[in-house]
Structure 1
Amino acid sequence: MTKIRVENVSKVFGKKVAQAQDLVKQGKSKSEILKMTGATVGVYDASFEVEEGEIFVIMGLSGSGKSTLVRLLNRLIEPTAGQIYINGDDVSKMNKQQLREVRRTSVNMVFQNFGLFPHQTILKNTEYGLKVRGVPKEERKIKAEKALENAGLLDFKDQYPKQLSGGMQQRVGLARALANDSEIVLMDEAFSALDPLIRKEMQDELIELQQNMKKTIIFITHDLNEALRIGDRIAIMKDGKIIQIGTGEDILTHPADDYVRSFIEDIDRSKVLTAENIMVRPVTVNPEHDGPKVALQRMKEEQVSLVLAMSKTRELLGYITADDALRCAKEGQQKLLPCVQKEMNTVPHDLLLEEVLPIISDSPTPVAVMKDGKLAGVLIRGIVIEALAKETSEVASNE
C-alpha cells in the first residue's frame, strides 16, 4: 500500500518564481538562478512514492533540498507547485483544520534534538505526544510502556533524563516518536549530532524498533553509509532535484550519473552487497528422480565437479560430487538419493558479503544461498573474490 505519493512538487523561495522555474528547465544551476532572479530553488519537480512500512531515505549534501522536501510533505513549508498525497488524501489542498488533524494523528516529525523534558520522568516524556492528542491516561501509559519495552528502556521509566546517558536519552526520544501512533514518521537528520558510536547504536535501534512497529519512515541524512545501513530505498538529491531513487544495491551497481558515482566511490561494497547480488545459478539434480549418469552428464555439460541435490519443490537436500556419482553408478544405484552428502554450508540471501567471506573461505564446497527456505543460488569462492577484486580495481581507477 502506498502511504505517500509526491507528484511534480517544486518549491521556489523568493520572487520571480515562474522565471526561476523556466531557468531550471533550461538547465541553469541553483547559483545561476539565484544571481539572475534573486530566487532560490529549494526543490524542483520531485516525484516519488513511499510504501507502507518502508524506510525511505532522502540524502544529499548541504543545500541539496532534502530538508526542504521533507517539510513540504506535511506543509511546514508550502509547495510552489505539485501534489502531495498521504493515504490518498491531497495534503496540498487541505485547509488548516484538516492539516492540523493530519499532523496530530498521521504524521510525526523528529528533528536532530529530541528535546526531552528534564523535569518529567522517562515514562511521562514518552507519553507526551499521546497526551497532546488527547489519548486517555491509562491507554497512553500502556502504549508508552510498550514503546519503552521495545527500546529496552522499560526498567528506566521512573528515572529522569539527566540520570540516563546521552545515548539512552536519544533512545527515549526515538521511542517517544514511534509511540505516538502516527503511521508516518519524518526524521530530519535525527542522528547527525551524535558521536559515531552512539549514532551506530541509534541506527540499530531504529532498525530493531521498525521491525516491531512497522512505521512508514522518511529519513533525511547527508551520510551515504547511514542511508545504506537503514534505508529500504534511497533518493539522492542535488540542487533541489532527485537524481536517482533505488535500493542501496541499485545505486552502488548502477549509479545514474557522475554525481552519484562520486558519492559511492569510497563505499566498501562488502558492507552493502548481499549474497543474492553475487550468487550464480546452481547446477542441480533431483536425487529422488535422477540417476548417477544424469548427474555425470550434467557435470560434463556445465564443466563442474559437483551438483546440488534439490527436490522438486526447490528444497536443498545436499550435494553430489563426481566421485559420489561414479560410486553410485558402480554400486548399481538407480537413484542418487543414497549418495547425497547433506553437510553443506548455507547462507540467507540477504547476508552481507563481508559476513559471507569467512564462511566461504572455510567451506570445502560452494555455499548455497537460501530464500524463504528454498534454494535461490550458489556462491563460488572464485566469483566472490572476483567481486571484491572488481571493487578494488574500480577504486584504483578512480584515484
Structure 2
Amino acid sequence: MLAPMPPSADAVEPARAPVSGRGRDDACPGALRLHQADDGALARVRVPGGVLAVDQLTALVAAAEELGDGALEATSRGNLQLRGLAADAGTELANRLHAAGLLPSLAHDRVRNIVASPLGGPEVRGWLRELDEALCASETARGLSGRFLFALDGGLGDVAALDADLTVIVTGDTALLRIARAEAAAEVGIADAARLMLRAAEEFLALGSGAWRIREADPDGTLLAGRLGLTLRPLPALSGRRPQVGPVEGALVIGLPFGRGTAAQWRALAHAATDELRVTPWRTVVLPDADPAVLPALAAHGLRTAPGSPWEGATACTGAPGCAKSLADVRADAAAALDTATGTGLPVHWSGCERRCGHPTGAWVDVLATGVHSYTIDSSTEVTTEQMAAAVAAARRTT
C-alpha cells in the first residue's frame, strides 16, 4: 500500500507554466489531483488504451460505491471518472488504485493519456504496453500537461480522428507518425513507433514554449519533424470508421448512456467480459471474445446493445446539478429528446454553457443551453425542451 499522502499532486507533479495569455495553470484533474465540483470531488483515472482487467474494473466500482456517488463515467479519452467524492477521499482512493495496478507511477498520473483502436491488432497492443512503460520511466515526460494526448491507430483512422498531439497509424508492415493536426506524416518502422512518440513528446517539451498541446507550438508538425530527422509526406485518406454498438469482429460493443454507468451496469459488463474490457473514447465498452448470448441481459440493465439508435453518437456535458456553470440539466433534457427521436446521423452534443466541455471532433450538431428549458441548435435555431427532439433529429440529417 502507498504511504499516506494528501490528494494534492504538488509533491509528485511539476508545476505547469502558464501559457502566455492564459493566466492559469493546467488544472486537468487526475487520481491524485481531485477537482471540486458542485456534487463533490471528482477523480479522473487514466486508463491507457481504455484497457481494464476485470478485477481492476471491480476495484473501481467498489471505490465508486464506497467513496463516491456509486457511478463511473467514461470520458472522451477512454478514461474513467469517479464523482461525489468527499474532499478527504484522495488518500484512500490512491491506495485502492495503486493496489489494483492503476497507478504505476505517481509522478505520471495525469500524463498517461493514450487512446488506442479498441479492435486494433497486435501492433496496437504492443505499442500500448511499450509507450505506457516508457512514458512512466521518463523524468522529462512528467512535464507534459494533463491535456496532452497520444493516439495508437490500428489503420481504420478511428482514433486518428481524435485530434491527438501524436498519432501512429498502422499501414501494413510500417506505420505513420502524425504530429498534431498536420496533413502530413512520416513513415516509421512498427518497432520504432512508440519510441519515436515519446521522443517527439520530449522534444516538444524541450521547445520551452509552455504550451499544453503541440498544435499551439508546432501546428503543421514541421518543427518537431526536423528535430527528429523525419521526412513528412501527405497523409493518406482514412475512413475514420469506429466500432458501432453490437457484435463486431468477434467482440461485443456496448453503449453507455452519455458514458455514465451505475455500479450494477458496470458489474454486468464485468460479468459478461472474458479477461478484459476496453473503454472507448466514444463512451462505449468493447468486450473482446464475449458471447453474444449475454446481450439480452446487458440490455435489461439499460445498456445499449444494438446499432441504429438515436443515442448513437450522442454526448452531453455533466450539466446541472453537477456543474455550477451549467444553465440546465442537459443530460435529462437530452435523454428525453433521444428517447422520443428516430434515426441517426451526425454526432450531437448537448452543452450546459459556452465551454462545451467534452464535445466531439469533426462535424457535429451543437445543442447549447440558454436557460433552464431553452436551447439553441448550431447557434441559430432556438427551441424549447418540448421542441428539441424533432429539431435535433432534423439537424443531424442536414447539418
TM tier relative to shorter chain: under 0.3
More helix as a share of residues? 1
TM-score w.r.t. structure 2 length?
0.25
Point out the structure with max Rg over C-alpha. Answer: 1
Which TM-score applies when normalising by structure 1?
0.25
